[in-house]
Amino acid sequence: MIFIKSPEEIDKIKRACEIVAQVFLDIEKYIKPGITTAEIDEIGEKLIISYGGRPAFKGYRGYQYATCISVNSEVVHGIPSPKKVLAEGDIVGLDMGAINQGYYSDMARTYPVGKVSKQAKLLLKCGREALTIAIGKVRPGVRLGDVSSSIERHAKAHGYSVVKDLFGHGIGQNMHEDPLIPNYGVAGEGVELRPGMTLAIEPMLNVGGSAIITLSDGWTVVTKDRSLSAHFEDTVLVTDNGVEILTCQKKT
């Protein structure tokens, strides 16, 4: 069941998205060699609260943190830890959501830590582009497969694979709503997009194969071949004639 959001609901989702987008802007400067992922989580949580939101991930299926922080071959759902220190050359995926008046936002970015390898830089560039391209497909009348397939096409063109076992999703009064949004698909197939749908689109690209495994902590997802992985996510709204990126980072 895909919910079409009312203008009132959209306003609440928009604010949840503004909060998390602002937190990303604020937190970037802390992503440096020497910081622990637990410290980043703590800063993220404080910032979300300072802007009037609630951390969306905390308490979700027993998850205890405001953020997921995934380093190098970790794809998503990395658990913040005081033992995990970022080092020069790492890439770090930061995933956060906020709740505002019962409505959710979801957003992720993968950052270089200090100077990174050319391979890492190219992966980040392609992942970022894949998200931009996918969002560029979104408008009423388009099929979900048009969006999904554009992600895999772009990844493949640059020699990367996409994660096939995890998905983007609708979002609203729940973090995860229909439809599932794969990072692969067939153009022209799938659900037709309509104004008022709110979607979290989240390409996950791997340098190696697409296979993933979940570590024994029950959360951390890594690439099976331990190759580098990058994750980018925005929450977007299907408008009457196109798309609005709700987690847009307008610098002020």
Residues that bind Co ion (CB under 5 A): 106, 200
| CB 214 to ligand MF3: min, Å | 12
SS3 string of 75-91?
EECCCCCCCCECCCCCE
Q: Judged by CB, which is closer to Co ion: 153, or 176? A: 176
Do 99 and 54 meet the contact criterion of CB atoms below 8 Å apart? yes
**CB 76 to ligand MF3: min, Å:** 6
Please return the burial class of 123, using the count of CB atoms within 10 Å of its CB with bins 0-12, 13-18 and 19+.
buried
| AA letter at 137 | K
The pair of structure tokens assigned to 166 is 């995890």
Do the beta carbons of residue 158 and residue 126 sit within 8 Å? yes
Contact residues toward ligand MF3 (CB under 6 A) are 57, 60-61, 63, 68, 77, 95, 97, 106, 200, 202
| Distance of closest approach, residue 221 Cβ to ligand MF3, in angstroms | 10
Minimum separation from the CB atom of position 59 to ligand MF3 (A) = 9
By C-beta, is 119 or 214 nearer to Co ion?
A: 214
Pick between residue 50 and residue 214 the one whose CB is nearest to ligand MF3.
Answer: 214
Nearest to 109 by CA among 79, 70, 144, 153: 70
DSSP element (H, E) containing 93: strand 91-96
- Among ligand MF3, Co ion, none, the one that 14 touches (CB under a kind-dependent 5 to 8 A) is none
Comparison of 45 and 106: residue with beta carbon closer to Co ion: 106
- Smallest distance from ligand MF3 to CB 244, Å: 19
Residue closer to ligand MF3 (CB basis): 29 or 61: 61
Interaction partner, residue 77 (Co ion, ligand MF3, none; CB < 5-8 Å by kind): ligand MF3
Taking CA atoms, 165 is separated from 115, 131, 204, 238, in Å, by 31, 18, 10, 25
Two tokens, residue 30: 């802390």
